[in-house]
Amino acid sequence: MQLTDSHGRKINYLRLSVTDRCNMRCFYCMPKEGILKKGHDAILSYEELYLIAEISVAMGIEKIRITGGEPLVRAGIVAFLGKLAEITGLRHLALSTNGLLLADMAASLYSAGVQRLNVSLDSLDTTTFAEITRGGDLNRVLAGLDAAERVGFPPPKINVVIMKGINDAEILAFAEMTRKRGNSVRFIEYMPVLKEDGWQRYCISGEEILERIAGRYTLEQVDKGRFAGPSRDFRIPGALGAIGIITAVSGHFCSDCNRIRVTSTGQTKGCLFSDEKTDLTPLLRPPDREELTKALQGIVSGKAERHGITQAGYVHKNFTMSQVGG
């Protein structure tokens, strides 16, 4: 079955958040004090999350990415992933993690049937990394990357949020990583999520990132795979890993959008920056398959053609990526 939105985009990708809790406090993602802890009832149970996943696949979703918060901090995550991996019709099961717990969990994630890992890593310098994450240990993340490959995963994709004056001096070091380690690296434009004046000061466009890399290396364009989503991909000739640019803010993004999101509290959204969302919890308690299908279909067909964050009059939404499932 094929799922298409009202702008003709094929929607085959669900980002499913399993928790809003995180064991890091990246300054651009979460307030220092963390977010207000939700009661157990507010967070969907694994049975409820599974039902959403299963219905989505029946509707035409082919790829599910488990995200959060930090998905590896939720108890029982490995067993849940094992169940998801068995859904008939699901072609691709991926997980986003900050990598802190990966060294210990890589083997069980691989056995559970997770196919790909994305690891968020914003600096290769221990001090800058600790500053961005407010205390994170870079060496644990690097050990997690090594462990993932040792147990059989393809080299995890690295997601780097580039912020002017914070880590933009490391753009070339990350590009070099695609040659040295074979990881693909995706540079993500910083997006305004925390309600913060002057967020533009961190912004560097994907074009500028590319120009800086092209100043040192030759870049060849890479054909996108069927699950690639809205990144533009390049490769330094001979490098094992690719270099991707996600220009979420400056453009070239929405026309390739292939995703919907469901948060750990059961809110489903067609666009990260849209206010439009549907609360699935009343349809899950007790579960109503037909209504859940209708609600998910409604989110797909109601997907906006593009986000409006760079347009005049955009009203800043106050949310954290950890709540929406970045």
Q: How far is the CB of 324 from ligand SAM (least distance, A)?
A: 8
One of 55, 102, 147, 193 touching ligand SAM (CB under 6 A): 193
Q: How far is the CB of 29 from ligand SAM (least distance, A)?
A: 4
Q: How far is the CB of 305 from ligand SAM (least distance, A)?
A: 21
SS3 117: strand
Which residues, 111 to 140, sit near ligand SAM by CB under 6 A?
Answer: 120
SS3 159: strand
Per-residue DSSP letter, 70: -
Q: In this chain, which residue has its C-beta nearest to ligand SAM? A: 326
Residue 96 or 183: the one with the smaller Cβ distance to ligand SAM is 96
Rounded distance between C-alpha atoms, residue 322 and residue 70, angstroms: 8
The interface mask with ligand SAM, positions 162-191, x = CB under 6 A, is --------------------------x-xx
Both tokens of residue 30? 């979460």
Residue 283 or 320: the one with the smaller Cβ distance to ligand SAM is 320
Residue 229 or 295: the one with the smaller Cβ distance to ligand SAM is 229
With b for 16 or more beta-carbon neighbours within 10 A and e for fewer, the 73-88 pattern comes to: bbeebbebbbbbeebe
Of residues 320, 324, 322, the one with CA closest to residue 97: 322
Q: How far is the CB of 41 from ligand SAM (least distance, A)?
A: 22
Q: How far is the CB of 13 from ligand SAM (least distance, A)?
A: 15
# chain residues binding ligand SAM, by CB under 6 A: 19
Which residues, 235 to 294, sit near ligand SAM by CB under 6 A?
Answer: none
The residues that bridge with 274 in the sheet, in sequence order, are none
Per-residue DSSP letter, 306: S
Segment interacting with ligand SAM, rule: CB under 6 A, options 63-71, 203-211, 227-235, 276-284: 63-71
Rounded distance between C-alpha atoms, residue 11 and residue 205, angstroms: 26
One of 19, 133, 159, 167 touching ligand SAM (CB under 6 A): 159
Rounded distance between C-alpha atoms, residue 149 and residue 316, angstroms: 40
| First vs last C-alpha separation in the chain | 27
The amino acid at 31: P
Q: How far is the CB of 101 from ligand SAM (least distance, A)?
A: 10
The amino acid at 151: V
Q: How far is the CB of 70 from ligand SAM (least distance, A)?
A: 4
The interface mask with ligand SAM, positions 3-42, x = CB under 6 A, is -------------------x-----xx-------------
Q: How far is the CB of 121 from ligand SAM (least distance, A)?
A: 8
Residue bearing tokens 């993932």? 148
Residue 59 or 97: the one with the smaller Cβ distance to ligand SAM is 97
> Do 277 and 267 contact (CB within 8 A), yes or no?
yes
With b for 16 or more beta-carbon neighbours within 10 A and e for fewer, the 172-190 pattern comes to: eebbbbbeebebbbbbbbb
> Do 242 and 225 contact (CB within 8 A), yes or no?
no
List the helix and strand counts (H, then E) for the chain: 10, 12
The amino acid at 192: P
Segment interacting with ligand SAM, rule: CB under 6 A, options 54-62, 67-75, 211-219, 270-278: 67-75
Q: How far is the CB of 191 from ligand SAM (least distance, A)?
A: 4
Kindly list the residues in this chain that would bind ligand SAM in the complex (CB under 6 A).
Answer: 22, 28-29, 67-68, 70, 96-98, 120, 159, 161, 188, 190-191, 193, 321-322, 326
